[in-house]
Amino acid sequence: MIEVKNLTFAYEKEKPVLHDISFTVKDGERIGLIGANGAGKSTLMKVMLGLLDGEGSVIVEGIPVTQKTLAETRKKLGFVLQNSDNQMFMPKVYDDMAFGLLNYGMNKEETEKKIDEVLSSMHIEYLKDRYNHRISGGEKRMAAIATVLAMEPSALLMDEPTSALDPKNRRMIIQIINDLKQTCIITSHDLDMIMDTCSRVILIDEGRIIKDGPAVEILRDRKLLEAHGMELPLSLSRL
């Protein structure tokens, strides 16, 4: 579904942040993108979305991500930002969800139906008419996911979806992710969440892929994780 080939990116010349990154993502896969701070995870997602222009290629369902194809490829790739305040910019949850649908030409009746379907599937119907500034961080994160899902992307790229959430909201986000039908690529320092949601892990350090394989295998490898600035998931460190 997604092919990343020989991707290199630098904010400054001769200081690459990503070095020759290549991997493929099959339809329906759940991939955890892990690494220490500054490893290049968020930058990689931004290049995949066409928000940053790197060398190499990203191909989504056979379509190269270029400036000319951004409108088409962004319909296929939904992006859930780490900070929901940067994503939810309208007064109410409904307004945010309707904004993209109406701009894509959906009429008001169809928009209303789609919003109700998505909120119902996530069991958060109660958020529909709530003001964004009056809901909790966890509720806003769920609403941000709903806003992206309403656009019916083929894949979701999620940047630290459980960061700064309390245990209850964290569990709710994990359940929502596990219920999704879309292909998912998730960056996170929450390795327990990655273990609960992803079957495959790509470990990045200094802009290079260090390991790509089954989540259980990589997340149980204490030496590997510690060598690249991480620790075992808490649930495993107690064993």
DSSP per-residue string spanning 168-214: HHHHHHHHHHHH--SEEEEE-S-HHHHHHH-SEEEEEETTEEEEEEE
Question: Where does 77-198 have alpha helices with state H?
Answer: 93-103, 108-121, 137-149, 167-179, 191-197
Q: Is the pLDDT of residue 110 over 80?
A: yes
Structure tokens at 181: 């039908």
As a whole number, mean pLDDT of residues 173-197 equals 93
**What pLDDT score was predicted for residue 239?**
55
Taking all residues of the chain, what is their mean pLDDT, rounded to a whole number?
A: 92
Q: Is the pLDDT of residue 14 over 80?
A: no
For residues 79 and 157, the answer to whether their CB atoms sit within 8 Å is yes
Would the pTM of this model clear 0.95, i.e. be above it?
A: no
| 216: three-class secondary structure by DSSP | helix
Q: How many CB atoms within 10 Å of residue 26?
A: 10
pLDDT digits (tens, 9 = 90+) for 117-141: 999 988 899 999 999 999 988 899 9
As a whole number, mean pLDDT of residues 172-178 equals 91
Helix (H) or strand (E) holding 49: helix 41-49
Overall fold of domain 2-86+157-237: Rossmann fold (3.40.50)
For residues 91 and 131, the answer to whether their CB atoms sit within 8 Å is yes
As a whole number, mean pLDDT of residues 13-25 equals 92
For residues 71 and 120, the answer to whether their CB atoms sit within 8 Å is no
As a whole number, mean pLDDT of residues 145-165 equals 92
**What pLDDT score was predicted for residue 13?**
79
Q: Is the pLDDT of residue 227 over 60?
A: yes
**What pLDDT score was predicted for residue 238?**
63
Domain residue spans of the chain: 2-86+157-237
CA 181, 216, 187 angle in degrees (round to 5)?
55
For residues 222 and 56, the answer to whether their CB atoms sit within 8 Å is no
pLDDT digits (tens, 9 = 90+) for 67-95: 999 989 988 999 998 888 888 889 999 99
Q: Hey, which residues does 204 pair with through a beta bridge?
A: 209
pLDDT band of residue 12 (cuts 50, 70, 90) is confident
